[in-house]
Amino acid sequence: MGREREMRVVRWLWLWLLLTISDAAVTSRMVNRLTASTNFLTTQELWFNQTLDHFSPYDHRQFAQRYYEFLDHFLLPNGPIFLKICGESACNGIVNDYISVLAKKFGAAVVSLEHRYYGKSSPFKYLTTENLKYLSSKQALFDLAVFRQYYQESLNAKLNRSKVENPWFVFGISYPGALSAWFRLKFPHLTCGSLASSAVVLAVYNFTEFDQQIGVSAGPECKAALQDVNQLVEQRLATNGNALKDLFGAAELKIDGDFLYFLADATVIAFQYGNPDTLCFPLTQAKNKGEDLVDAYATYVKEYYLGKFGVSVQTYNQQHLKDTALNGDSSDRLWWFQVCTEVAYFQVAPSNDSIRSSKVDTRYHLDLCKNVFGQGVYPDVDGTNIYYGGTKIAGSKIIFTNGSQDPWRRASKQTSSTDMPSYTVTCHNCGHGTDLRGCPQSPLSPEGDAKNCSSPDAVHKVRQQIIEHIDLWLSQCQAIGRSSM
Ligand SMILES: *[C@@H]1O[C@H](CO)[C@@H](O)[C@H](O)[C@H]1NC(C)=O
Ligand SMILES: *[C@@H]1O[C@H](CO)[C@@H](O)[C@H](O)[C@H]1NC(C)=O
Ligand SMILES: *[C@@H]1O[C@H](CO)[C@@H](O)[C@H](O)[C@H]1NC(C)=O
Ligand SMILES: *[C@@H]1O[C@H](CO)[C@@H](O)[C@H](O)[C@H]1NC(C)=O
Ligand SMILES: *[C@@H]1O[C@H](CO)[C@@H](O)[C@H](O)[C@H]1NC(C)=O
Ligand SMILES: *[C@@H]1O[C@H](CO)[C@@H](O)[C@H](O)[C@H]1NC(C)=O
């Protein structure tokens, strides 16, 4: 009890210290406190100078990289520091998912670094192919390492101490999930462990299993309806393409492949983010009543995918992807660059029993890479897997998790071991990052609340395992820290 009180006093002193650094900081912090929605733990931007090219011996250029910190639960001075990795979109704050529950439980600080090039962390005003050459997972991992050192040293300076190491733990979902696993793999001395949630650690060239998993997740009835939709769409595209595109509000997609990829993705999102019934109920109902399936699908796409989910059609427009000006929608171009150079995950139609159009093939993806970024841009998948190990990643103290309905799960690690335990969260609406995000995975359930998962218990069980691993690895790390003192 005495120790707990002491911690609380220290925490207040810490807060006071932060609040008094400058008046501006005080004001924005307070405003932030009042207006930040429950979706974020903080949206207060902080900045530091990052090296542009970590692999050049003579290029010393820097760029400003955005980060965040959340210290409400931090047990000073030696509490753990959780590094929540941001990925392929603007990082507008620290998202209030299950990590906030974990931070409270462990007395941890939470810090988060925006991925280079995305959001406000772009080194360049123009995103030409030439300027994108420093955009890679390898550079991003080095950014995280440099940031981790910078933050630890700043903390030590504030606490008037030196050479002290707090125990760190890294977290990420999806591509940041892969970065989380790879960070522990490449910089094991900088983190006590890693949670790699729905981590796409295997770069796949022809990712046909993606579509196959959609079929499994949809179940036979919905899958059949989706395949009917695709057949009808292909017929109408051949005879009256413009009217069909209009029906989906997608007249701007002049390239048929872009349109078909857009329709395929609209299906994916229902399973990936835990809303399968929003898609499958109306479709199977329309089929049973003998109604027009394309109409039913168009209603879903417009009301849900473009409406509630909030995707914009231009995301799929190669004309838009070619735009090199830095603006609010640049992440589409940036992620395609990473896809076209490093990781692929080309979501091509399997040759048999596919849900998406067979025209979404390898050629389509390679043509897109060439059209958008220029001749000679295609993914070096083998190089990526040699560098990280793919599903044979030889790391340690990494927890892998998958959602049972998530089409990405087959690019994740496939087996469990003592040093790299893996768990699949199984339920009807368990998708991408369910362990941290709960259900559905979009829109966000604050604190990753799992009560709307069709089996909250399945989520709780995996979370319990996660807590036990974090607890064990943090304490092992702290024991080493103490013995070296
Ligand atoms: C970053 O670099 C710029 C330009 O060299 C400098 O003005 C600024 O003070 C630096 N910021 C930090 C946080 O070091
Ligand atoms: C920091 O520690 C040194 C050495 O113990 C001490 O001399 C100094 O006054 C301290 N500074 C602050 C700001 O507490
Ligand atoms: C990918 O699929 C295409 C088309 O079927 C095929 O030509 C190519 O060899 C495949 N590539 C790999 C690496 O599997
Ligand atoms: C095609 O898929 C169906 C259903 O998944 C399967 O039963 C059949 O054997 C497959 N045919 C070929 C040629 O792979
Ligand atoms: C991810 O999904 C694959 C394929 O369904 C499964 O074999 C594997 O065990 C899962 N991995 C984890 C870490 O759950
Ligand atoms: C759970 O579902 C109900 C009903 O749809 C909804 O009102 C509520 O916001 C959801 N809760 C969470 C945490 O997602």
- DSSP characters over 97-166: SHHHHHHHHHT-EEEEEPPTTSTT--S-SB--TTGGGG-SHHHHHHHHHHHHHHHHHHHHHHTT--S--P
Residue 355 maps to a domain: yes
Q: How far is CA 379 from CA 204, 209, 265, 384, in A?
A: 10, 18, 21, 9
Q: Identify the bridge partners of residue 400 per DSSP, sorted by sequence position.
A: 196, 422
Q: Which ligand is nearest to the CA of 158?
A: 2
**Closest residue by Cα to residue 129 from 292, 484, 315, 369:** 369
User: Tokens standing for 52?
Assistant: 């542009």
Predicted local confidence at residue 3, as pLDDT = 38
Instruction: Check pocket membership of 402 for ligand 5, CB cut-off 6 A.
Output: yes
Instruction: Check pocket membership of 352 for ligand 4, CB cut-off 6 A.
Output: yes
Best mutation site among 410, 425, 462 for ligand 5 pocket (most ligand atoms within 8 Å of CB): 410
Residues 135 and 245 in one domain: no
Q: Is the peptide bond before 176 cis (omega within 30 degrees of 0)?
A: no
Q: How far is CA 288 from CA 230, 267, 275, 284, in A?
A: 17, 19, 21, 6
- HEC string of 151-177 equals HHHHHHHHCCCCCCCCCEEEEEECHHH
Residues 364 and 414 in one domain: no
**Closest residue by Cα to residue 360 from 424, 273, 266, 449:** 266
Residues 219 and 243 in one domain: yes
User: Tokens standing for 235?
Assistant: 């017929």
Instruction: Check pocket membership of 483 for ligand 4, CB cut-off 6 A.
Output: no
457/447 Cα distance (integer angstroms): 16
Q: Is the peptide bond before 440 cis (omega within 30 degrees of 0)?
A: yes
The DSSP call for residue 233 is H
Among 350, 381, 412, residue at a domain's last position: 381
For ligand 6, the distance from its centroid to the CA atom of residue 32, given in whole angstroms, is 25
Residues 30 and 63 in one domain: yes
Residues 197 and 212 in one domain: no
The secondary structure element, H or E, covering residue 66 is strand 62-70
**Closest C-alpha residue for ligand 5 atom 8:** 414
Find the residues whose C-beta lies inside 6 A of ligand 3.
205-206, 362
**Closest C-alpha residue for ligand 5 atom 11:** 414
Kindly provide the residue ranges of all beta strands, DSSP E only, lying in 305-371, ordered along the sequence: 344-346
Domain harbouring 43, CATH code: 3.40.50.1820
Residue 14 maps to a domain: no
Residue 6 maps to a domain: no
Residue 400 maps to a domain: yes
Domain hosting 58: range is 23-201+391-480
Residues 48 and 190 in one domain: yes
Q: How many domains does the chain have?
A: 2
User: Tokens standing for 374?
Assistant: 């220029």
Contact 359, 218 (CB under 8 A): no
Q: Residue 132, SS3?
A: helix
The 10s digit of each residue's pLDDT in 243-300 is 999 999 999 999 999 999 999 999 999 999 999 999 999 999 999 999 999 999 999 9
Kindly provide the residue ranges of all beta strands, DSSP E only, lying in 379-452, ordered along the sequence: 398-403, 422-425
For ligand 6, the distance from its centroid to the CA atom of residue 167, given in whole angstroms, is 35
Q: Is the peptide bond before 443 cis (omega within 30 degrees of 0)?
A: yes
Predicted local confidence at residue 9, as pLDDT = 35
**Closest C-alpha residue for ligand 5 atom 2:** 409
Predicted local confidence at residue 482, as pLDDT = 53
* Residues of the chain with confidence (pLDDT) below 50: 1-36, 483-485
Q: What percent of the chain has pLDDT over 70?
A: 91
Residues 341 and 193 in one domain: no
Predicted local confidence at residue 479, as pLDDT = 78
Residue 235 maps to a domain: yes
Residues 236 and 324 in one domain: yes
Residue 32 maps to a domain: yes
The secondary structure element, H or E, covering residue 42 is strand 40-42
The DSSP call for residue 190 is G
Find the residues whose C-beta lies inside 6 A of ligand 6.
445, 449, 451-452
Whether the pTM exceeds 0.85: the reply is yes
Predicted local confidence at residue 15, as pLDDT = 38
For ligand 5, the distance from its centroid to the CA atom of residue 210, given in whole angstroms, is 13
Residue 56 maps to a domain: yes
Residues 363 and 275 in one domain: yes
Q: How far is CA 72 from CA 118, 257, 466, in A?
A: 27, 48, 22
Q: Identify the bridge partners of residue 64 per DSSP, sorted by sequence position.
A: 49
Among 349, 381, 413, residue at a domain's last position: 381
Predicted local confidence at residue 329, as pLDDT = 84
User: Tokens standing for 293?
Assistant: 């399936």
57/60 Cα distance (integer angstroms): 8
**Closest C-alpha residue for ligand 1 atom 1:** 49
Residue 5 maps to a domain: no
Contact 409, 432 (CB under 8 A): no
Q: Known catalytic residues?
A: 174, 406, 432
Among 339, 354, 381, residue at a domain's last position: 381
The DSSP call for residue 354 is -
Instruction: Check pocket membership of 150 for ligand 1, CB cut-off 6 A.
Output: no
Residues 190 and 43 in one domain: yes
Residues 313 and 361 in one domain: yes
Ligand 3 atom at minimal distance to the Cα of residue 361: 4
User: Tokens standing for 205?
Assistant: 């060239």
**Closest residue by Cα to residue 431 from 266, 227, 214:** 214
Type of residue at 158: K
178/170 Cα distance (integer angstroms): 11
Residues 312 and 425 in one domain: no
Ligand 5 atom at minimal distance to the Cα of residue 416: 13
